[in-house]
Structure 1
């Protein structure tokens, strides 16, 4: 049973509802400063995931090529359209909701939250681990951070943040099911490089949350698909050909 995926999705749902309901009680300065803290937490988690990286050339190449693919496929624009589709039913039920954001600010923050909750290396690796071994501890730890992060996002974005729990659960559940097919084809080095790639996305997400640099994190997602095959190819083909 995907207990970890369920708990993590519920944390986003509950955090989103609490933040949207009580966000007006918090000052803009409080929300801004706390969002900076969550941004630096995301950066720190990203750095920790990147540090053990085994094959830097493979990870960097996956990031570059994956982002090129994402940009060529306009993946970021698709995320933007999906974000607005998610907001549409919320606007019908809460037409008086005043978010105090421009359209671009709203879309940027919502896309950031979607990527953070649905496509983080921690969530993906945690789902694969839970599906293969039954160990949900990684997802449980992520759920604690997601609860508070969702609440802060919802203070600015409203009830739409709670809907992110739906695609999040679908992604984590699908990975949980596929784990029995994916993990046997991997090794420890490939998984470490995979987490490192996710770390770069989390680092970029932290910069975006802190409004320091608006990285195209949605367009970077294909790198998560490429990094393990590239890691394998680098070790078993390139390094062997070089006699390393």
Structure 2
């Protein structure tokens, strides 16, 4: 089954999110400290990812243009309005704290689960070689992360299972066509720069969780599309930077 790895990943996110909600009735000071701990871990992940780039100028262009596009379409505002609608349907209204808002949990979890090389590489492995080991390993990590996030950020974390399924599922199903039309070195070029650009977004999430900033992270998401466009153009002109140079 070609989508087996993605389904396992999604199932572990859902299970982790549900279990995490049973751990929500803990003292506020514990939640606060745990949230800071999560933020530090997220920052560490983001910093590590950001070093994947082989050309920092690509990351700068992608994140800046992506932010402009995101602000133009107000993606963050749309997602927050969607979260508010979900909260009203769930009957929670203003009873949830800002840390437990559905919109924040959804956005934060989606950024963490979707952005990264494991999602792309794992999905491609599932599609091309029917090898699901990478996505299963990612699912285990995501499951524990979902448990921790949902205990502090609320049940909105479980909604991240939907974009994870769509994102990884589409890549898996199209992986044969991707390999047929996109050279492996170009694909690796894109993965490196996408991972680094995504790392900056993950850092922004960590800073928001600590409370140092109020960056509209969702408005940075179009940067991933910009990465694809920039790397495609550069590759077309024969520009192929070597990692480490």
SS state at 2:214 partner: coil
Contact kept in structure 2, 1:121 and 1:202, CA below 8 Å? no
* Partner in structure 2 of residue 197 of structure 1: 197
* Partner in structure 1 of residue 231 of structure 2: 231
SS state at 1:215 partner: coil
* Partner in structure 2 of residue 176 of structure 1: 172
SS state at 2:215 partner: coil
* Partner in structure 2 of residue 21 of structure 1: 22
Quick check: 1:12 aligned with 2:13?
yes
Contact kept in structure 1, 2:102 and 2:154, CA below 8 Å? no
Report Cα offsets for 1:136-164 as digits up to 9, x if no partner: 34333332332232223322344343233
Aligned length: 235
Q: Structure 2 residue aligned with 1:148, among 134, 144, 147?
A: 144
Contact kept in structure 2, 1:58 and 1:230, CA below 8 Å? yes
Quick check: 1:126 aligned with 2:122?
yes
User: How far is the alpha carbon of 1:85 from its aligned partner?
Assistant: 3.3
The separation in 2 between residues aligned to 1:29 and 1:39, in whole angstroms, is 15
* Partner in structure 1 of residue 217 of structure 2: 217
* Partner in structure 2 of residue 164 of structure 1: 160
TM-score (norm 1): 0.81
Q: Give the alignment of 1:62-81 within 5 angstroms.
A: 62-81=62-81
Q: Which runs of 5+ in 1 are unaligned?
A: none
SS state at 2:22 partner: helix
Contact kept in structure 1, 2:119 and 2:138, CA below 8 Å? yes
CA RMSD in angstroms comes to: 2.9
Contact kept in structure 1, 2:82 and 2:103, CA below 8 Å? no
The separation in 1 between residues aligned to 2:82 and 2:93, in whole angstroms, is 22
The separation in 2 between residues aligned to 1:125 and 1:90, in whole angstroms, is 36
CA gap of 1:165–1:124, structure 2 versus 1, over 3 A, is same
Q: Which runs of 5+ in 2 are unaligned?
A: 241-245
* Partner in structure 1 of residue 113 of structure 2: 117
User: How far is the alpha carbon of 1:7 from its aligned partner?
Assistant: 1.8
The separation in 2 between residues aligned to 1:71 and 1:116, in whole angstroms, is 21
The separation in 2 between residues aligned to 1:10 and 1:2, in whole angstroms, is 12
Q: Which moved more, 1:6-15 or 1:168-177?
A: 168-177
* Partner in structure 1 of residue 3 of structure 2: 2
